[in-house]
A and B are shown apart, each in its own frame.
Chain A
Amino acid sequence: MTVLAQVDQLPVNIPDIAWAAISPELVLFVVGLLALLLDTAGPQRLQASFVAFGVLVAGAVFAALQTGNVVLCALVGLAGVTQFALTAIWRDRPRMLSAIITSLGFIGGLGVTAWQWATYAGGAFTVSGAGVQLPLVATQSVIGDMVAVDGVALFSRFTICLAGLITVPLGFSYAEDRRIHRGEYYPLLLFAATGMTLLAASADLIMVFISIEILSLALYILTGFARRDLRSQEAAFKYFLLGAFSSALLLYGVALVYGVTGSTNIAEAGRAFSALTVNSGLTLAAMALLLVGFAFKTSLVPFHMWTPDVYQGAPTPVTGFMAAATKAAAFAAFVRVFVGGFAALSWSWAPVFWVIAVVTMMGGAVLAVVQTDLKRMLGYSAIAHAGYVLIGLLAVSRAGVSGVLLYLLIYALMSLGSFGVLTLLERRGHKAMALDDLRGIGRRYPVPAGMMALFLLSLAGIPPTAGFTAKFAVFRAGIEAGLSSLVVVAVVSSVIAAFFYVRVIVIMFMEEEPAGADLDPPLDLTAGPIIGLVATTATVVILGVFPGVFIDLASQAASFAG
């Protein structure tokens, strides 16, 4: 039974929970619980795994009896067997076990998302015949109108799971070296990803709030994961305070929306707003509060203050994950709320966004120039990139939405890659990376430095790298929507940004190594980072040279709002 059909059938009361709609979240969440269980079980790991095996098999049988879906049953059963087998093999190496199970969890999330895509994307195309004006982002939704199943949700889930999948191998040895490889790390990653994917799919403002809380709580802990590192503590504290503050503003905004329209459902509230004849101050206040809440999460100037501190303080793999996945999730919700639900009110938010986009692009780029700490610099660059994404959002068009989705995917890969190389280099010196620490790295370690150079050029948007594809997509949407002046600002910002990206390359390849560099321990190349970095490098190149498939997927994602 399809989700689409079920919405029409059940107008009242008890929502029939369409599990299929939130299947990626379920996978991530269950795997998170499993990782937690296996880690806490200690010496009784094998027994715990056996219990989990029993529960999963029981679940499989129950699912088979309920739905008659043999494939589902087989998959759940297989998951049970697999985790038991893995536990049996790695029962003495809990971190390795967690890492593998977490990776499999993300792969499962990707798989389920692909299945959803295959199911819904096909269906929606038949719905959108000629003349049928589909909304840009989903308005139909399931589970008591709480969750949307549309291209934006599915594409963002894809990005988030991919980011998680790459984060695991990149961070493995780093966490080991820094002695922060504690058991909670992997479950927290999975729970954060659960929150993110749910946020990307939220069709109700309450759901938006809840999923933001889910992901934020996990991220607060992950940020402060390096307990002995003061900066990590400081970052977590700042993140927590400002995050709580922004959540409160968001919630207040939700309350005002409810006050004006009588609903927290994004689509319904949007319809109610567009039916309003008087432009009440309350509407504007609600918009403003929502906007501030989202701007905090997507780190737009002037609500970006936490970003550099948190990016700098958090353990580097966590920073990479945060940069890649949180942004994708938050922007997906951003798009759904403003471009989807409140498009009719664009007169109220578009001009504000325009200004915010300008100051974000310029501010992020200019402030990045004066940074000496690499992670901080990348933090500011993340701000500038958020500004470019805003162009796609402001275009309020299908091209814009697909540009945003593509940008976020590519940005995720680029930032994971650059933070991944930093992770590698930081392990060598066991300290934070200042720009000066990179001197001469290119001569000593040409391959990692070359990868870093590639990611930086991609971040700068130089063809033929993925970054160019991303910029092209949003610039294209922007100019099509008549935002040429905004695109010109973006161009100026890109040039400023290119300066500091290129400066890093200069330092890596064109400066001599500092005296005493020979005394530093050699780079410890383990399998994890190699796998992660090769994967990101390859995708960044492929997305730059032959982006066709991904453009298709992104524009398909922007075209079905089922």
Chain B
Amino acid sequence: MQSVPLLTLLIAIPAATAVVVALLSPTARSAVRGVSLLGSMITFAVSLLVLARFESVAGFQLQESAAWIPQWGISYRLGVDGISLFLVLLTTFIMPLTLLAGWEQSERIKGYYACLLSMEAALVGVFLALDLVLFYVFFEAMLVPMYALIGIWGSANRRYAAIKFFLYTLVGGLFMLVAILYLYFASGAQSFAYADLLAVSLTSTEQALLFVCFFAAFAIKVPLFPFHTWLPDAHTEAPTVGSVVLAAVMLKIGGYGFLRYSLPFFPEATQRFAPVLLALGVIGVLYGALVAMAQRDIKRLVAYSSVAHLGFVVIGIFALDPTGAAGSVVQMVNHGLSTGALFLLIGFLYDRTHSREIAGYSGLLRAVPVFGGIWLFVVMSSIALPGLNGFAGEFPILLGTFQTVPWAAVAAVFGVILAALYLLWPYQRMFHGPVEGLAVGLRDLRPREIAIMVPLVVLILAIGLYPKPLYDRVNPSVSAVVADAIQRADVAAAANAVWEGE
């Protein structure tokens, strides 16, 4: 069965397409667009094959491995499990849509598409890597195209945002690298493979220090309060497609990293720091919501809403409850769809009016009914209306969290209420009322734009109505990880108690 290296193809196809695009003539615009779209569609098709072959059990599937730098124990290992499966699918699904959204890009289109495609390769690599150095390489490699995307094609204040984004991520990444090296020598395994390093036994102090190093990398990515300050800048200044990829996929690396690395590697430290992380998550939910409410720029508002939504994800993970954690994984996918859709819509609006001021719009629903309808639908999904995907993720998070840490769940519920406020209020101001200001003479969505939104709308509804297929595949892996972490932490705690008792 394992004749075709599907997972390698998921990385290789976008990477190869990026190279091909880079070699095309800069004037061959339609060739650049066609090749890029084709490459990303094929990648998506391959990811669907992965989904078809995936079995709903715990553990890594479709594993591939090859020697890469054996001198240093670094290997090329890929594998997919319930945690990474849907994040990979999300990436490959979003990417053709973003390419379509950037269709009208007039300036330096070659570099633009090459950046997006190489980013897709790196992002998929991050989710699939089962060697820590390989993971790190993808983690950092993803930085450069994103940085270029913000810095070259972004709006007015783009240079500042680009450097800020680059440095923040680099700081976290380098600390993680040190921790990875430390793990390597502590394990004595002469290998950076995920499974080999998992077997390492660490003292409580070591665990705590290494946990903090990994935390630095992932908390910045999530972004967790107070490491979030790069996010509003990056989002606001990035071009539409940059925001979409950033919000839909890149932020998920944080949550993914917590589940994939922090919990299994440092169970004891996880339990120790869980209250802190929960508190930061709760602060993120409330702070993100409150700051979002104060925004006058609609894109910045959605950026802060991401801080709030991902706070939920962190709460779900560190509540250390299988239901909550599975909810977090699904919620990451949901957030990718809803917020990705919101950023796309904002992009469409911005293309027309070149303004993101909430106050500048009024009566959009009457002026551009299709746009308004889709916006309302997506906003509803974002505020977790039952029947739409947001609810399918947030509810299990609250359910699971309530069982282990009720206070966090109670506090987070306020976030849900606030979300309704900060999303509906601007909706009311922008879409209702008389057709005024920028809304006058606005053109409704073009067929291309509708074609981009339809798959998103369909998925939002489908997941909301019937999330079972997702949970079936996510649950086994997540439950195994959480249960294992709790059990190992308990064993360690018991051992410590015995030791102190003597």
Contacts and interface: CB of A to CB of B under 8 A. Distances in A.
B181 interface: yes
Given A475-B181, A476-B181, A509-B152, A495 B171 contact: yes
Contact of A509 (B137, B148, B163): B148
A547 interface: yes
Interface string B240-251: 000000000000
A33 interface: no
Contact of B72 (A472, A502, A505): A472
A491 B178 contact: yes
Interface centre among B158, B162, B170 (most CB of A within 10 A): B170
A479 B162 contact: no
A159 interface: no
Nearest to A507: B159
A498 interface: yes
Interface stretch (B138-146, B220-228, B386-394): B138-146
A498 B166 contact: yes
Contacts of B451: none
Contacts of A555: 71
Contacts of B170: 460, 462, 494-495, 498
Contacts of A552: 71
Contacts of B152: 509-510
Interface in A462-510: 462-464, 468, 472, 475-476, 479-480, 484, 487-488, 491, 494-495, 498-499, 502-503, 505-506, 509-510
Interface in B258-308: none
A494 B69 contact: no
Given A463-B136, A498-B170, A506-B163, A548 B151 contact: no
B177 interface: yes
Contact of B69 (A443, A479, A548): A548
A511 interface: yes
Contacts of A464: 137, 141
Contacts of A31: none
B373 interface: no
B167 A495 contact: yes
A551 interface: yes
A548 B70 contact: yes
B174 A479 contact: no
B272 to A, nearest CB: 21
Contact of A494 (B70, B133, B158, B174): B174
A457 interface: yes
Contacts of A460: 170
A368 to B, nearest CB: 15
A479 B178 contact: yes
A443 B170 CA distance: 26
Nearest to A510: B151
B158 A479 contact: no
B279 to A, nearest CB: 26
Contacts of B151: 505-506, 509-510
Interface residues of A, number: 32
Contact of B175 (A480, A491, A499): A491
Contacts of B407: none
A462 B144 contact: yes
Interface in B144-199: 144, 147-148, 151-152, 158-159, 162-163, 166-167, 170-171, 174-175, 177-178, 181-182, 184-185
B166 A487 contact: no
Given A463-B136, A463-B140, A509-B151, A498 B181 contact: no
Contacts of B133: 472
Chain B residues touching A, range: 20 to 34
Given A491-B177, A502-B163, A551 B69 contact: yes
B185 A487 contact: no
B71 A548 contact: yes
Nearest to B143: A462
Interface string A538-552: 000000000110011
A457 B144 contact: yes
Contacts of B68: 548
Contacts of A509: 148, 151-152
A404 to B, nearest CB: 16
Interface string A63-92: 000000000000000000000000000000
A555 to B, nearest CB: 7
A500 to B, nearest CB: 10
Interface in B37-52: none
Contacts of B108: 443
A506 B141 contact: no
A484 B147 CA distance: 30
B72 A479 contact: no
A433 B184 CA distance: 43
B181 A479 contact: yes
A460 B147 CA distance: 14
A476 B72 contact: yes
A462 B140 contact: yes
Contacts of A487: 178, 181
B69 A547 contact: yes
Contacts of A457: 144
A510 B181 CA distance: 35
A501 to B, nearest CB: 10
Contacts of B177: 472, 475, 491
B21 to A, nearest CB: 14
B162 A484 contact: no
A499 B174 CA distance: 14
B180 to A, nearest CB: 10
A479 B177 CA distance: 11
Interface in A508-562: 509-511, 547-548, 551-552, 555
A464 B136 CA distance: 10
Nearest to B174: A491
Nearest to A480: B185
Interface string A429-461: 000000000000001000000000000010010
A479 B182 contact: yes
A491 B181 CA distance: 13
A488 B177 CA distance: 10
B227 to A, nearest CB: 14
A103 to B, nearest CB: 31
Contacts of A505: 151
Q: 9 closest A-B pairs (Cβ-Cβ)?
A: A463-B137, A491-B174, A510-B151, A551-B71, A479-B181, A463-B140, A495-B171, A506-B159, A510-B159
Given A476-B72, A476-B184, A495-B167, 8 more contacts: A463-B136, A495-B171, A499-B163, A509-B148, A509-B151, A548-B69, A548-B70, A551-B72
9 contacts: A462-B143, A463-B141, A472-B72, A472-B133, A479-B185, A484-B182, A502-B147, A506-B162, A547-B69
Interface of B: 68-72, 108, 133, 136-137, 140-141, 143-144, 147-148, 151-152, 158-159, 162-163, 166-167, 170-171, 174-175, 177-178, 181-182, 184-185
